[in-house]
Amino acid sequence: MLLSIIYIIGITAEAMTGALSAGRRNMDWFGVMLVASATAIGGGSVRDILLGNYPLTWVAHPEYLLITCVAGIVTTWLAKWVVKFKGVFMRLDALGLAAFSIIGCQVGLNMGLHYGICVVAAIVTGVFGGLLRDLICRQTPLVLHQELYASVALIVACLYLTLAHFAIDESISIIASLLVGYLVRMASVRFKWRLPRFNLLETAR
């Protein structure tokens, strides 16, 4: 229940930031709705396609798709405020990332998959929305360069799976994972934590 609420907040926030990317590319309303939806629910869709987990969430629940499309269009009117309150959106995005990762784990566990694949499912859910957004908008994918993002999904997944493995109460597991994911993500932004980079030109000299 808590997870559902945070999921809906998360896809709304992601859709709005996705719409901003579409606005930077001067797209029309259809483009805005496409990029907003791809950003918000593209990660879960890629996960379900990779795992063969049909029907996709938004096919079973068209209201989610409605939310992301409306959030995208609303953003075209409220762009000024979305940009102004970007700190709030970053917080909602951090919470959404943690929620997406937990949901990814749950899907993997429900399908009886290997823990390693559950972790992959969590990372795909958390990361591929942004990756799709950047592919459609022809930007260099941020998640491959920036602060910890996939790593946060990894940490949340490992924590949640560990708690699930030892049969800790579900709502405690979810709250703990959300909290840790949120804090690690915010800390990584604040302190500019980054994964090591691979610069071929320097390394191979």
Rounded CA separation 16/79 (Å): 9
Segment lying near its own copies (by CB under 8 A), choices 17-25, 96-104, 163-171, 176-184: 17-25
Q: Which of 2, 5, 88, 135 binds its own copies (CB under 8 A)?
A: 135
Rounded CA separation 179/156 (Å): 9
Rounded CA separation 201/205 (Å): 6
| Using rule CB under 8 A, residue 52 touches its own copies | yes
| Using rule CB under 8 A, residue 112 touches its own copies | no
Closest CA to 177 of 190, 189, 164, 194: 164
- The SS3 call for residue 159 is helix
Rounded CA separation 126/160 (Å): 14
Q: Which of 120, 122, 156, 158 binds its own copies (CB under 8 A)?
A: 120
CB of 33 to its own copies, least distance (A): 9
According to CB under 8 A, which residues from 154 to 183 bind its own copies?
none
Q: What's the residue count for the chain?
A: 205
Whether the CB-CB separation of 39 and 91 falls below 8 Å is answered with no
| Using rule CB under 8 A, residue 197 touches its own copies | yes
Binding residues for its own copies (CB under 8 A)? 19-20, 22-32, 34-35, 45, 49-52, 54-56, 59, 62, 65-66, 75-76, 79-80, 82-83, 113-114, 116-117, 120, 127, 131, 135-136, 138, 140-141, 143-145, 149-151, 194-201, 203-205
